[in-house]
Amino acid sequence: MKDQTLSELNAERAARRAVVVVTDVTSGEQRMVKAADVAADPLHADLDRQLRMGKSATIEIDGRKLFLNVYAPTARLIITGAVHISQALAPLARLLGYDVFVVDPRTAFASPERFPDVPLFADWPDVALPTLKVDRYTAFVALTHDPKIDDPALLHAMERDCFYIGALGSRKTHGKRLDRLKARGATEQQLARIHAPIGLAIGAVSPAEIAVAIMAEITAVLRLPAEKTPKAVPVEKVA
């Protein structure tokens, strides 16, 4: 790899921006494709697929073998609300390779005893979230049912283009949430990105089952093309 390419690659990785280095297996010729440039690249379909999967691969185009070396940031999960569902969700997400953070100003909930080995931020979202450098490789979930905590956190997540944003509650609860967020300046396009009621429709009842439904939906959004992402239905029993 040329020094200039390596320097650009390291800069993109330091900024948590995905990159694919395309290498012609026969000639050794290389070029780097930044995530922002994928849509306009001739290999956009292959690049998009491998970026979604987070895996490198060899492809063949017009008789040429190309190695797509994917450099994607480690995905993060930020949970607002140190509730029972979060206690099941945090270790599950870590098992799937996510860096997990829990934000909740209620110190009785956000305690090391309830969340061993998970970074806790016992502050209000407007204080805690800016320090976490939320970005488009972050999944964000709001689980408190408290507008004073969830609403500012959701606004922060929408402004930073998280790849997944989900919020707990019934359709009625979410309708009221949308009205509040709209009154605080959220656009229709931003509001449409919130997955609510949260989680895939697997009949989840217990906190652990709901955690599975949430991670399943996050995984689908991360790995599948938008047109193939399953839709959720109300999780009324936890609203």
pLDDT in tens, the chain (239 residues): 778 888 889 998 988 889 999 999 999 999 999 988 998 999 999 998 898 888 999 999 988 999 999 998 999 999 999 999 999 999 999 999 999 999 999 999 999 999 999 999 999 999 999 999 899 899 999 999 999 999 999 999 999 989 999 999 999 999 999 999 999 999 999 999 999 999 999 999 999 999 999 999 999 999 887 666 665 544 333 32
> How many CA atoms within 13 Å lie on the side-chain side of 80?
32
Together in a domain, 20 and 87: no
Mention every residue, 6+ apart, whose C-beta is less than 8 A from residue 43.
22, 33, 59, 61, 66, 68
Task: Tell me the per-residue pLDDT of 136-167, one tens digit each, with 9 for 90 and over.
Answer: 899 999 999 999 999 999 999 999 989 999 99
* pLDDT at position 2: 79
* pLDDT at position 1: 76
CA–CA separation, 48 vs 54, rounded Å? 10
Mention every residue, 6+ apart, whose C-beta is less than 8 A from residue 22.
30, 31, 32, 33, 43, 66, 67, 68, 69
Together in a domain, 218 and 113: yes
Together in a domain, 133 and 190: yes
* pLDDT at position 161: 86
* pLDDT at position 228: 62
Q: At residue 161, what is the residue type?
A: D
Number of H helices, E strands in the chain: 8, 10
* pLDDT at position 231: 57
Together in a domain, 119 and 23: no
Tokens coding 170: 């019934």
CA–CA separation, 94 vs 79, rounded Å? 12
* pLDDT at position 105: 96
Contact 165, 151 (CB under 8 A): no
Q: How many domains does the chain have?
A: 2
Task: Tell me the per-residue pLDDT of 163-179, one tens digit each, with 9 for 90 and over.
Answer: 999 999 999 999 999 99
DSSP label at residue 81: -
Burial class (CB in 10 A: 0-12, 13-18, 19+), 30: middle
Together in a domain, 194 and 130: yes
Domain with 82, as residue range(s), is 76-238
**Model confidence, pTM:** 0.84
Last residue of a domain, one of 12, 41, 71: 71
Mention every residue, 6+ apart, whose C-beta is less than 8 A from residue 226.
none
* pLDDT at position 163: 93
* pLDDT at position 136: 87
Cα distances from 85 to residues 54, 70, 77, 208, in angstroms, run 27, 33, 14, 6
Together in a domain, 124 and 228: yes
Q: At residue 88, what is the residue type?
A: A
Report residue 19 CA to chain centroid gap.
Answer: 17
* pLDDT at position 236: 37
Q: At residue 119, what is the residue type?
A: P
Q: How many residues in total does the chain contain?
A: 239
